[in-house]
Amino acid sequence: MKADHFEQQKLLALADEDVALTQLAHRKRTLPEVAAVEAAAESERTFAEAEVRAETEVRDLDREQRRLEADVDTVRQRADRDRSRIDSGAATPKEITSLQSELQSLARRQSDLEDQVLELMERRETADAALADAQTGRAAAVADRERAEQLRDDALADIADSTARHEAKRAEVAGGISAPLLALYDRIRTQTGTTGAAVLKARQCQGCRIELNGRELAAVRNADPHEVVRCENCGRILVRTAESGL
Ligand SMILES: [Zn+2]
């Protein structure tokens, strides 16, 4: 293919834009801010789960405590009734003996229930502390995530701005290149994943950084200035300049 020597120079400006656009796309894919958001969101989920567990524990303990307190009340009322019966003077000696025996067992039962209430209150304190920790942790994780999201959004906006700028510049440069040469460049760019042309500088292709051997150099040297020459190694269009070392 032949293309005007000066038009071939424009491919370098196009390649510069493509390098910038490739770097921007890579930066967008590997943004540390995205990983920071994910880490904060993961921490938030962990604390939220701990919070749900602690809330459930607190509710369960409350229910158990109410049940125990109701049992204590029942025992106390029964004991009050027994004592009133004894104090009434209407009970027979046999009945009194039986009531006193029941009072003893009620007292043991009440003491046992009160121990259980105390133990429950200790567990409730632990559960309350766990709940408070989970709530504090989650609030901090939410704040972390929101901060990280802001940083990520700022970085993405920055990348979007730069991308738009380089795309506009690329379109402008591409507008000055003839369709066949541009099509060849774009086809090579798709293959390399970055650029379709590179400058030949000091006998080295700046696309793949391989130095041309004697035969390749001779071929490039002898080629018409308007001939489109390509790097045999990477396939890019080799743009010749005064610094090519030919
Ligand atoms: Zn090359």
pLDDT digits (tens, 9 = 90+) for 222-235: 999 999 999 999 99
CB atoms within 10 A of CB 241: 13
CA of 230 to the centre of ligand 1 (A): 8
Give the tens place of pLDDT for each residue, 2-54.
999 999 999 999 999 999 999 999 999 999 999 999 999 999 999 999 999 99
DSSP letter (8 states) at residue 245: -
For the chain, what's the residue count? 246
Distance 224 CA to ligand 1 centre (A): 19
- How many CB atoms are located within 10 Å of the residue 135 CB? 16
Share of the chain above pLDDT 90, in %: 98
Output the CA 20–ligand 1 centroid distance in Å. Answer: 19
Of 88-92, 143-147, 208-212, least confident by mean pLDDT is 88-92
What pLDDT score was predicted for residue 127? 96
Q: Examine the pLDDT at 246 and tell me if it is beyond 90.
A: no
Rounded to the nearest angstrom, the distance between the alpha carbon of 193 and the centre of ligand 1 is: 13
pLDDT given at position 124: 95
Q: What is the mean pLDDT of residues 114-127?
A: 95
Half-sphere exposure of 65 (CA within 13 A, CB side): 15
Q: 118 alpha carbon to ligand 1 midpoint, in Å?
A: 81
For residue 224 the two structure tokens come to 């018409």
The number of beta carbons lying within 10 Å of the beta carbon of residue 62 is: 13
In the reported structure, the alpha carbon of residue 29 is separated from the centroid of ligand 1 by a whole-number distance in angstroms of 26
